Amino acid sequence: MKLAEIAARIEGKLSGNGETEIRGIAALGEAQEGDITFLLSRSFERLIPDCRASAYIVGEDADQALLAGRSVIAVANPDLAQALTAELFDIPRTFEKGVSPSAYVSPRAHVSGKASILPYVYVDEGAVVEANVLIYPFCFVGRDAIVGEDTVIYPNVSIYAGTVIGRRVIVHAGAVLGSDGFGYVWDGRRHKKKPQIGMLEIEDDVEIGANTCIDRATLHKTVVAKGTKIDNLVQISHNVSVGNNSVMAAQVGIAGSSSLGKNVVFGGKVGVADHVAVGDNVMAAGGTGITKSVKANSIVAGNPHMAHRDWLKMQGYLRRLPDLFERVRKMESRLPQEGEDDRDR
């Protein structure tokens, strides 16, 4: 691919030889001749003198003197440009359309002739698999489930009965969608299971990480809204609603009947208590324990959660505790001890 073509695709300003042939993309520290690399932060400019890449994607504020004599594409957002460039080199594997002879599809299921159902997939009765869906081996698609167009289901995914998956969804290996919510009531002798007769709906353009579990609702539905991106090993419980374009990192846990607004961002290991409402645009640092509702546009941290600025102050106080303890100990050593007065000192 010519460098000028890449510049046009990412809407960048090219300086240098647009006819340079680019064969791959690599990080600054590993790039070789024929690669295009990227400078996401000026803190990495120290790597440029030893870099052998054929071209560079940089921010508009990059040190031009350091890049003199090199082929460069300057962009407003290097992170986005890197993602767009990577797409040009990410050629997905294609499979023949149709159902593998080693797969089982119920005669009462509806599978598009344009879908690719690979060996050892099980599609139950009433299920719908739409055009250009790709389902890898050892997946289960339950009764009356729906898998929307252009969706990719990686190996060993279990899609329980009645689950609805939208278009262009990516579900990574081992995920479990629509399993029973964790609902029990004590009847005086034992834990009585509450039947989970609701459903799960995954809207368009969602990505779900490996071994993530999302429960069906007790009565109505659990919802993951459009554009949400979920990392590996996340647990989303019954009756939860997640708003558009939210992002959550690994090991997030959201308890039942909680709601997240749109554009919510959770770092790793964030925990959300049940029946909590998290507003739009909330950001929670890794390890945050959200125990009560959070107003829109808040940034929180800590367990239990607090405003991020307050959490930072608390960390400062904690670091100074050893010195404070030592000062108090010295002050106590100068005070009268029990059973003595000043004349004894």
* Claim to verify: residue 176 and residue 52 sit in the same structural domain: no
Residue 191 annotated in active site: no
> How many other CB atoms are there within 10 angstroms of residue 45's CB atom?
15
Tally the domains of the chain: 3
pLDDT at residue 341, rounded to an integer: 61
* Claim to verify: residue 251 and residue 170 sit in the same structural domain: yes
Tell me: the pLDDT tens digits for 216-238?
999 999 999 999 999 999 999 99
Q: What is the CATH number of the domain that holds 234?
A: 2.160.10.10
* Claim to verify: residue 110 and residue 58 sit in the same structural domain: no
Element holding 6 (H helix, E strand): helix 3-10
* Claim to verify: residue 173 and residue 213 sit in the same structural domain: yes
* Claim to verify: residue 119 and residue 55 sit in the same structural domain: no
* Claim to verify: residue 167 and residue 295 sit in the same structural domain: yes
CA 225 to chain centre: 14
CA 255 to chain centre: 18
* Claim to verify: residue 80 and residue 176 sit in the same structural domain: no
Q: Which of 32, 65, 89 is the last residue of a domain?
A: 89
Tell me: the pLDDT tens digits for 256-273?
999 999 999 999 999 999
Q: Give the range of the structural domain holding residue 28, as residue numbers without chain letter.
A: 3-89
Tell me: the pLDDT tens digits for 145-199?
999 999 999 999 999 999 999 999 999 999 999 999 999 999 999 999 999 999 9
* Claim to verify: residue 250 and residue 114 sit in the same structural domain: yes
Q: Token match 């690599």: residue?
A: 26
Q: Which of 110, 172, 191, 238 is catalytic?
A: 238
* Claim to verify: residue 27 and residue 114 sit in the same structural domain: no
* Claim to verify: residue 120 and residue 238 sit in the same structural domain: yes
Angle between helices 78-89 and 3-10 (to 10 degrees): 120
